[in-house]
Chain A
Amino acid sequence: MSRPSRLHIPHPSARPGEAPDFSYLRLAAAGAVARPDPSARLDAMTPSAMDLATQLVRVLDDEHRAVGPWNPHLEPAELQVGLRHMLLTRLFDERMQKTQRQGRISFYVKCTGEEAVSVAAAMALEPHDMLFPGYRNQGLQMVRGQPLVALMNQLLSNTGDMCKGRQLPVMYHGSDARLFSISGNLATQFPQAVGWAMAAAIKGEDHIAASWIGEGSSAAADFHHALLFASTYRAPCVLNVVNNQWAISTFQGFAAGESPSFAARGPGYGLPGVRVDGNDFLAVYAATRWAAERARKGHGATLIELVTYRVAAHSTSDDPSRYRPRDEAEQWPLGCPIERLRQHLCMLGEWDDTRHAALTVELEQQVNAAWKIACTFGTMTEGPKLDPALMFEDVYETLPPHLARQRETLRAELAGTTVAAVAGHNEHTGQAGQAGQAGHQGKGV
């Protein structure tokens, strides 16, 4: 080992104790990136398309004005709805984090600072479009109208839980709301969304699919499966990589390699990539709308990178002060998505501090009221409990005999029934038999 190794190890720009440094981020001025016509086919490898994938689509400028070709020209009322959803998402997160710390729920994942990524995208899509979320997309649940009580019941694994107690908190789903079941395994939903979109195309429907993964998850093979199938079949879907800079302790450079853009993964597969300011509500909305329109016109999928920052810990099991500077979030150059939209509305004369304070109080009360109701369905420590026998249902469409027998054994176990009650009933074979008499040949024969 006399020769030094040439193995390259990527390093984040700052570790704990060092000054945050986001100079690695390629930024662009609001309005600087051209917007191709979504109704025309787009060659993903042309210089202008590569610009889309490597520059940064932004609408809100430093003076909080909406500028440039990507300005979606939304009505103030729509912007106010967006602000409401984002604020609700944040207040919900804060309250649920608190309940986890109080031991009321076992686990939680916040999306602080990433609210626009989900809220703006969901508002830009149609209600019949199918969404395949990751576990940090609670804004999708809000926009799609999932009742707060329903979300809380899932977090509590209580008698109102849509998952019947089977999933870790935050792994919601909503079949009516067209929100796919969230998996704890990473990136699995990405190629599934493509398959859903392929089916929509096969059936000749107008619906499209959209999915979200973190930039860290783009390392998984499923990310590449998604891009290839989407490209090959021109599947009508919107594929989103939420680049929040950190995958637990691992900074984005481990998934990016030497590439400065996740959106640029798209062109290699023949898919247009769009790199977007993920904390700019208007830019996220516009890019999603553009990609959805392409998909609906038969031009296939788009890969969108949403550049944002994970302000909170990865989860309630994580302590980010061990691997990144404590004040990194404060130095994040793209600001807070809620604050930026608020300022924009204020600049338009459509919002003010009084209204903002009133909305905050209203939403806090909404969250608190929902929590009280959710608790009546039971918590980990109090109130009604789900019947444990439910665990045997939905393994298959119909309960197979061996699971029916195991369910009976569990019931006896929980009833504190002594072994006599299940004696002679072998839960494996279902046959009566007295165990102690079976060895009739005796020892040592």
Chain B
Amino acid sequence: MPQMNMVQAIHSAMDVMLERDRSVVLLGEDIGYFGGVFRATEGLQRKYGEHRVLDTPIAEGGIIAAAIGMGVNGLRPVTEIQFVDYIYPAYDQIVSELARLRYRSAGDFTAPVTIRTPCGGGIRGGQTHSQSPEAIFAHVCGLKVVMPSNPYDAKGLLIAAIEDNDPVVFLEPKRLYNGPFDGQPDKPAVPWTAHAKGEVPEGYYRLPIGECAIARAGSELTIVTYGTMVHVAEGAAQAAGIDAEIIDVRTISPLDTATIIASVKKTGRCVVVHEATRFGGFGGELAATIQEECFWHLEAPIMRVGGWDTPYPHAFEWEYFPGQTRVANALKRVMGEAA
């Protein structure tokens, strides 16, 4: 099977969908002639034409609004917001319009828009190139929110997102584009070719939106996480010598609670991990749901690990990032090893 990194897998998903479905169009800043600042759309304009892969002005609100109009008029737009840190000028169009169009028109108008956007830190990007704002989209009714953690999932889920008739915010952890980063920046980078999920079929396949994956089976404790932190959590569990079951949430909304609940009922202990700031983060939703459903199975309080509740600082990237030490400390505490 072909080996792909995450950018190649995402590229392949769009290539496949442009080929299969004439209504699919791509639009975003620098995505056409140039192929995108992360190369995710490289060569697609040349292959499918300028009317299907559109460069746009630097106007995120305009991009999403135009995509809504295109979607209403029968196209299936896949937008790229160059960094999710730049998405806020489009927030009104996303929240007030895109997310609620089906509801307010009783289903008479819909816009099947996909919003692809790189997220997360670890690339020395400072506060304007590092954010993880999944919670502010998860909180919006009518949006689906997806964050893959590997090339295989990225392609299958992106195809599903494009085919979905509801709007999907598709968050791409940019630190994972080239390899399964485990939170240790000083170690040599590991490429996706060294990872099972770097094997990606060339053609069409889709993975269901709304299903968690069990990234690692284990018995002692459940780690519920997504994106870059799936790999950090694996490293942390190994370092701590804990047989953790790692749930890769993959779809933040709608949330597959059944898989999470079954795992926590099995292990009796749970740590929720995300890169985003913790206060008001999606970890709160996860922890609350687990508490409601698994309370009588819990051996310890559910712990949350996240980025500190500050903007992402340029100089203190690795002190800010919830790395293996912070995760491992939480795992040990939940295991009661802290005495």
What is the total number of residues of chain A having a CB less than 8 Å from a CB of chain B? 69
Contact B37 A317 (CB under 8 A): yes
Q: Contact at B337–A419, with CB atoms within 8 Å? A: yes
A interface footprint on B297-314 (CB within 8 Å = 1, 0 otherwise): 111110110001111011
- The reply to whether A9 and B51 contact each other, CB–CB distance below 8 Å, is yes
Q: Is the Cβ of A438 less than 8 Å from the Cβ of B300?
A: yes
A424 lies within 8 A of chain B by Cβ: yes
How many inter-chain residue pairs (CB < 8 Å) link A and B?
A: 182
A19 within 8 A of B: no
Contacting A at CB under 8 A, from B254-303, are 268-269, 278-279, 295-301, 303
A420 within 8 A of B: yes
Interface flag for A361 (CB, 8 Å): no
B126 in the interface (beta carbon within 8 A): yes
Contact of A9 among B54, B89, B268, B297 (CB under 8 A): B54
- Whether a CB of chain A sits under 8 angstroms from the CB of B218 is no
> CB-CB < 8 A to A392: which residues of B?
308, 310
The reply to whether the CB of B73 lies closer than 8 angstroms to some CB of chain A is: no
| Chain A residue nearest in CB terms to B130 | A168
Using Cβ atoms and an 8 Å threshold, which residues of chain B touch A158?
315
Tell me if B205 is interfacial: C-beta within 8 Å of chain A: no
Give CA–CA (A394, B303) in the complex, Å: 27
Partner of A1, one of B22, B34, B336: B22
Closest Cβ neighbor of A387 among chain B residues: B316
* A161-176 at interface with B (beta carbon < 8 Å): 161, 163-169, 171
Looking at the assembled complex, report how far the CB atom of B325 sits from the nearest CB atom of chain A, in whole angstroms: 5
In the complex, A204 has a CB within 8 A of chain B: no
> CA of A409 to CA of B305 in the docked complex: distance in angstroms?
12
Q: A1-B22, A248-B34, A403-B308 are in contact. Are A184 and B319 (CB under 8 A)?
A: no
Q: Which of A70-78, A213-221, A268-276 contacts B (4 or more CB under 8 A)?
A: A213-221
User: What secondary structure prevails in chain B residues at the interface with A?
Assistant: loop
Q: For residue B268, which residue of chain A has the nearest CB? A: A443
Q: Which of B108-127 contact A (CB under 8 A)?
A: 124-127
On chain A, the residues within 8 Å of B62 by CB distance are: 219, 221
Give min CB distance, B298 to chain A, whole Å.
5
**Contact yes or no, B124 A419, CB < 8 A:** no
Give the distance in Å from the alpha carbon of A395 to the alpha carbon of B30 in the complex: 33
Q: Which of A404-425 contact B (CB under 8 A)?
A: 406, 409-410, 413-414, 419-420, 422-424
In the complex, what distance in Å separates the CA atom of A190 from the CA atom of B296?
56
For residues 386 through 445 of chain A, which have their beta carbon under 8 Å from a beta carbon of chain B? 386, 388, 390-392, 395, 402-403, 406, 409-410, 413-414, 419-420, 422-424, 426, 428, 433-439, 441-445
Residues of B close to A322: CB separation below 8 A: 34
Taking the nearest CB of chain B, how far is it from the CB of A12, in angstroms?
Answer: 9
Chain A residue contacts of B126, Cβ below 8 A:
166-168, 171, 184
Residues of A in contact with B (beta carbons under 8 Å apart): 1, 5, 7, 9, 15, 106-107, 157-158, 161, 163-169, 171, 183-186, 216-217, 219-222, 247-250, 254-255, 317, 322-323, 386, 388, 390-392, 395, 402-403, 406, 409-410, 413-414, 419-420, 422-424, 426, 428, 433-439, 441-445
Nearest 4 pairs of A and B residues by beta carbon: A436-B336, A165-B315, A184-B128, A423-B338
- A-B contacts, 10 listed (Cβ < 8 Å): A168-B128, A168-B129, A249-B30, A250-B34, A322-B34, A395-B310, A403-B309, A435-B300, A439-B298, A439-B301
Binding site for A on B (CB under 8 A): 22, 29-30, 33-34, 37, 50-51, 54-59, 61-62, 85-86, 88-89, 124-129, 268-269, 278-279, 295-301, 303-304, 308-311, 313-316, 319-320, 325-326, 328-329, 332-339
Give me 5 other A-B pairs in contact (C-beta within 8 A), A163-B314, A167-B126, A168-B125 excluded.
A166-B311, A168-B314, A221-B62, A436-B337, A436-B339
